[in-house]
Amino acid sequence: IDKDILEFDPTKLEWINDSKVPYSFLIDTFSLVVKTKSRIKIINYLTNMLRTIILHDPKSVLPAFWLSSNSIAPSYEGMELGIGSNILTKAISEISGCSSKELKKYYDRYGDWGDVAYAAKVSVRTLIDPTPLTVDGVHNTLCKISKLKGSGTVKQKTNLVTKLLVSCKGEEIRYLTRTLIQNLRIGAVRTTSMIALARAFCLTKPLSSSGTSGSSDMMESDKFKIDLKKDSKGEIEKKLKEAEKLLKECYAQFPNFNDIIKCLLEHPIDKLLDVCHLTVGVPLRPMLSKMTQDLPQIFKKLEGKPFNCEYKYDGQRAQIHMDSNGVVSIFSRHLENMTEKFPDIVQIIPKILNKNVNSFIVDSEVVAINEDGNLQNFQALSNRSRKNVELSSISVRVCIFVFDLMYLNGEPLLKSSLRRRLELLRNNFLQIPNHFEFVKQTESSDPEEIQEFFKNSTEMGCEGIMVKVLDDPPLNLEKNQRMNLLASYEPDKRIESWLKVKKDYVNGIGDSVDVVPIGAWHGNGRKAGWWSPVLLAIYNPETETLESVCKCMSGFNDQFYKEMKLKYSKKNRTILTRKKPYYDVAEGLTPDVWFEDQEVWEVKGADITISPIHKAAFGKVDPNKGLSLRFPRFIRVRGDKSIDDATKSDQISEMFFKQVKEQKSNEITKVED
Ligand code: ATP
């Protein structure tokens, strides 16, 4: 915490009193945020913006928060704007008088719709000043757009977008356009925005109707409330840290800012978890696993601790909820509502429950199976359509392999040990072969048996195994170590109590990495007319950039090249002539075309090396160099992952350090041999 926060006075009005927050206030903040790479500064700007809004127009905190986070509602509510280049072209033409040809030229030059709209509008003079946009008004219109359905939608959307754009002043149009295509990227990722939100509410409370700060009940009991005049810097920092931790914990099990911000406005921060907690129908953020090189590493890490080994199925993660009215909802790994995609799962649910079960949340993997019940790979599952699937038209059959139970009959089970959760799962749910099964598991700790279990899993078509701690570690264990080995279900965390071992690591082919294709060169010889090699990038959530990690030209077949040529084409507007501002690629590395970042690929390399060219994890291993993947080979498209699920800079540097450690221990073993 620094003077930017300590000396900021939110009572100084940034706009006329009693009016709604103007959109320009948000945009001024965005303009400051994009100019810095310092996370502390970004947090400060956002915190102070929110503090001002909390004090003067509390109702606008929520829309301001959504608009800063590149979304308009919780992801599971499926509120998509559905605005693409056609609508934008029409609307920008309308307000600027530029033809679609001229706009295309701008787009080829800038590669960013925000810059296109700004360039097109900058010289337009209007006779009458439009009514200024407000934060609340912009958010409302976006919600309206997302709710439009049926015929005539495109026209209605175009009209609403045009109305918004015509009212923009100065920089507003640049950011609003990026918001419209849900590509804001100001460098304020979810974690940063959440820190700012927690800080803002510790430092400021909304004025009550009587004009005092906060409603009386909330101020008295708020242990996080900061008094900048009385509290020491140490006290302030402690309160902020605790509030951030609490908000993070709350969001992990109840990722709905509509309710979280309402609660923050009405109650003290310490009441957060009392109001917003695990709820049937609201997907929690899934617990994730850490990668492990091989089985011996598992035995070393979990020595003396009881663990469960499970098959790691190769399908799609599915969180299944059933409320006390029997309503079933199914959510993906990214908390999208997939209920419509799986009517067959919805139909089977009543048949898998013991009589006493009236509500639950389970975690599972949905896997495609063939007529004989054999497991199919992940690709087979991606052939199923996403929406409005009719029971009668299902051609890809699936089986649910359930591996966890987080809630049962009104009781949240997140804090229970995995042993108890599994016991409750087995006692309350019934298996139906080829439809609903418990994951194959063993509690054996015998290395040979586990080796055999691992081999069987891969022969069955699984990716490998998951190894999970069954009981909480003893209390006398050092705190950090203990927190890393908890047997509870830890939403949104990747800790060592869940470890994965994939067959590919064990085969020594190398670690798999999830990357985003961001550019390519024209192929030669047999590959003439196709894209090869392709430039790949990983994701840095701190800077919201895509950092180049390698060029890839193997693992593709001709069919894939052909499809890729269509997917990345001028016609689809998925190739650009300019690099996107958030692509972090060295000056000298210039592919023939830049791609729109639109999908995640899984690739495998021989190893990770320090690179003078690539920007992945730049400075994390070597102060002046990045990391690269050597001999990368394409494995598959990861349709279930979005861009920000690509491998992160920290993960790849962690993989590098692990690899170095591994090499060292191999050398030692060789010497000992
Ligand atoms: P990956 O790319 O390996 O699927 P990920 O980042 O999606 O990894 P991880 O936590 O690293 O997620 O790996 C666990 C994933 O494996 C889960 O998200 C789930 O989809 C799948 N899975 C399959 N079987 C199991 C199981 N028995 N327990 C937990 N997850 C399982």
Nearest CA to ligand 1 atom 25: 312
pLDDT per position as a tens digit, 158-185: 999 999 999 999 999 999 999 999 888 8
Confidence bin at 510 (pLDDT 50/70/90): low
Q: Rounded to whole angstroms, how far apart are CA atoms 68 and 192?
A: 11
Ligand 1 in reach of 239 Cβ (< 6 A): no
Q: Rounded to whole angstroms, how far apart are CA atoms 29 and 41?
A: 11
Confidence bin at 245 (pLDDT 50/70/90): very high
Q: What is the pLDDT of residue 304?
A: 84
Nearest CA to ligand 1 atom 26: 312
Q: Which atom of ligand 1 is nearest to the CA of 468?
A: 28
Confidence bin at 666 (pLDDT 50/70/90): low
Q: What is the pLDDT of residue 672?
A: 45
Rounded to the nearest 10 degrees, the angle between the axes of helix 172-180 and helix 135-147 is: 30
**Sequence-separated (6 or more) residues with CB below 8 Å from residue 17:** 56
pLDDT per position as a tens digit, 614-658: 999 999 999 999 999 988 999 999 988 889 899 999 999 988 988
Ligand 1 in reach of 288 Cβ (< 6 A): yes
Q: Which atom of ligand 1 is nearest to the CA of 404?
A: 28
Output the CA torsion sign for 111, 112, 117, 122: negative
- Whether the pLDDT of residue 429 is over 70: the answer is yes
Q: Which atom of ligand 1 is nearest to the CA of 645?
A: 6
Q: Which atom of ligand 1 is nearest to the CA of 641?
A: 7
Q: What is the pLDDT of residue 489?
A: 98
Ligand 1 in reach of 466 Cβ (< 6 A): yes
- Whether the pLDDT of residue 219 is over 80: the answer is no
Q: With beta carbons less than 8 A apart as the criterion, state whether 530 and 565 touch.
A: yes
Ligand 1 in reach of 505 Cβ (< 6 A): no
Nearest CA to ligand 1 atom 2: 514
- Whether the pLDDT of residue 196 is over 90: the answer is yes
pLDDT per position as a tens digit, 13-41: 666 666 889 999 999 999 999 998 888 99
Ligand 1 in reach of 404 Cβ (< 6 A): no
- Whether the pLDDT of residue 53 is over 50: the answer is yes
Ligand 1 in reach of 139 Cβ (< 6 A): no
**Sequence-separated (6 or more) residues with CB below 8 Å from residue 394:** 343, 344, 384
Q: Could you tell me if residue 252 is left (phi over 0), alpha (psi between -120 and 50 degrees) or otherwise beta?
A: alpha
Q: Could you tell me if residue 537 is left (phi over 0), alpha (psi between -120 and 50 degrees) or otherwise beta?
A: beta
Structure tokens at 492: 């949104």
Q: How far is the CA of 370 from the centre of ligand 1 (A)?
A: 22
pLDDT per position as a tens digit, 56-74: 899 999 999 999 998 999 9
List, by residue number, the catalytic residues. 312
Nearest CA to ligand 1 atom 31: 312
Burial 619-641 (b: 16+ CB within 10 A, else e): ebbeeebbbbbeebbbbbbbebb
- Whether the pLDDT of residue 671 is over 60: the answer is no
Q: Rounded to whole angstroms, how far apart are CA atoms 656 and 618?
A: 12
Structure tokens at 619: 């400075």
Q: Which atom of ligand 1 is nearest to the CA of 290?
A: 11
Name beta bridge partners: 514: 602
Q: What is the pLDDT of residue 277?
A: 97
Ligand 1 in reach of 378 Cβ (< 6 A): no
Confidence bin at 217 (pLDDT 50/70/90): very low
Mean pLDDT calculated for residue range 428-441: 97
Q: Rounded to whole angstroms, how far apart are CA atoms 123 and 96?
A: 8
Q: Which atom of ligand 1 is nearest to the CA of 638?
A: 2
Ligand 1 in reach of 500 Cβ (< 6 A): yes
Which is more confident, 56 or 308?
308
Q: What is the pLDDT of residue 215?
A: 46
Q: What is the pLDDT of residue 535?
A: 97
* Residue in this structure with the two tokens 């609340």, named with its chain if needed: 136
Q: How far is the CA of 185 from the centre of ligand 1 (A)?
A: 28
- Whether the pLDDT of residue 220 is over 60: the answer is no
Structure tokens at 396: 């890809």
Mean pLDDT calculated for residue range 211-219: 48
Confidence bin at 508 (pLDDT 50/70/90): very low
Strand 583-584 vs strand 545-552: parallel, antiparallel, or unpaired?
parallel
Mean pLDDT calculated for residue range 251-276: 95
Cα distances from 38 to residues 41, 65, 298, 335, 573, in angstroms, run: 5, 20, 38, 30, 33
For 476, phi then psi, to 5°, come to -80, 0
Q: With beta carbons less than 8 A apart as the criterion, state whether 225 and 75 touch.
A: no
**Complex ipTM over 0.90:** yes
Q: How far is the CA of 288 from the centre of ligand 1 (A)?
A: 7
Q: How far is the CA of 26 from the centre of ligand 1 (A)?
A: 38
Which is more confident, 426 or 670?
426
Mean pLDDT calculated for residue range 550-578: 89
Which of 86-90, 120-124, 633-637 is predicted with the least confidence, judged by mean pLDDT? Answer: 120-124
Mean pLDDT calculated for residue range 262-286: 95
Nearest CA to ligand 1 atom 20: 317
- Whether the pLDDT of residue 515 is over 90: the answer is yes
Which residue among 290, 313, 468, 647 has the greatest number of ligand 1 atoms within 8 angstroms of its CB, and so is best to mutate?
313
Q: What is the pLDDT of residue 673?
A: 43
Q: What is the pLDDT of residue 301?
A: 86
pLDDT per position as a tens digit, 450-498: 999 999 999 999 999 999 999 998 888 888 888 889 999 999 999 999 9
Q: Across all residues in the chain, what is the average pLDDT? A: 90
Percent of the chain with pLDDT over 90: 67
Q: What is the pLDDT of residue 127?
A: 75
